[in-house]
Amino acid sequence: EDQVTQSPEALRLQEGESSSLNCSYTVSGLRGLFWYRQDPGKGPEFLFTLYSAGEEKEKERLKATLTKKESFLHITAPKPEDSATYLCAVHPGGYQKVTFGIGTKLQVIP
Amino acid sequence: DGGITQSPKYLFRKEGQNVTLSCEQNLNHDAMYWYRQDPGQGLRLIYYSQIVNDFQKGDIAEGYSVSREKKESFPLTVTSAQKNPTAFYLCASSIGSVKTGELFFGEGSRLTVL
């Protein structure tokens, strides 16, 4: 069974304090790993897709990386507006099903 | 602007009642999905549809029903058979099988059973 584990469950950072969120996965043949951002009471917003180990994607203060067993979402010099829950998901390919992790709730304090 | 519209945003239901959640998209996407989100759990797939007049059960389809009569619309009915319907429901769409993981979500509908 495909599994996605995100850590930590919650993270509190001071504005400007860089850190990383982790997504560990177990899947039979990874077709894609996805990162989403979700604000309270809203639907998730797609951020990145990573397809193979060694791949990196960047968007503003966010950088996602992928290895064969995990992905990291690095947040450089975060701002309060980066506060949200970040979701990781994997697609094993073939059958149309994506498995989501529970998410990491990030709070950036001014 | 293209996107996914879910309605209503908040819905209250008495036990024993069926309710229908609306989902409309103008992105011209072939695939549409319904997910359920509960605290402390990842998004769970209820139903999905790849094309009009065709849909498949996800992981937690019991107590739910859907239809896909138009490409733009994918309504979800929460029936009285769903034992624990209070949750946040999310509709999503994707271009197709190639980029299934790149999902576009609506704003969600929060259902509360009284």
pLDDT of residue A25: 95
pLDDT tens per residue, range A72-110 = 999 999 999 999 999 999 988 765 578 999 999 999 999
Partner B contacted by A101 (CB < 8 A): yes
Q: Do B42 and A87 touch (CB under 8 A)?
A: yes
Provide, rounded to the nearest whole percent, the portion of chain A with pLDDT above 70. 97
Q: Do B103 and A99 touch (CB under 8 A)?
A: no
- Cα–Cα distance between A1 and B53 in angstroms, integer? 29
- Cα–Cα distance between A36 and B44 in angstroms, integer? 15
Partner B contacted by A87 (CB < 8 A): yes
Q: How many CA atoms lie within 13 A of B60 on its CB side?
A: 19
Residues, chain B, total? 114
pLDDT of residue B40: 86
Tokens of B45: 């797939």
Mean pLDDT confidence for A1-13: 94
Conformational region of residue A103, where left means phi above 0, alpha means psi within -120 to 50, and beta covers everything else = left
Partner B contacted by A10 (CB < 8 A): no
pLDDT tens per residue, range B45-96 = 999 998 899 999 999 999 999 999 999 999 999 998 898 999 999 999 998 7
pLDDT of residue B70: 97
pLDDT of residue A30: 86
* Chain A positions in Cβ-Cβ contact with residue B99 (cut-off 8 Å): 32, 49
pLDDT at B100 > cutoff 70: no
pLDDT of residue A96: 59
pLDDT of residue B99: 56
Cα of first residue to Cα of last residue in chain B, in angstroms, is 36
pLDDT tens per residue, range B6-57 = 999 999 999 889 999 999 999 999 999 999 999 888 899 999 998 899 999 9
pLDDT of residue A67: 95
Which residues have C-beta within 8 Å of that of residue A47, sequence separation ≥ 6? A34, A35, A36, A37, A59, A62, A64, A86
> Could you check whether the bond before residue A8 is cis, i.e. omega within 30 degrees of 0?
yes
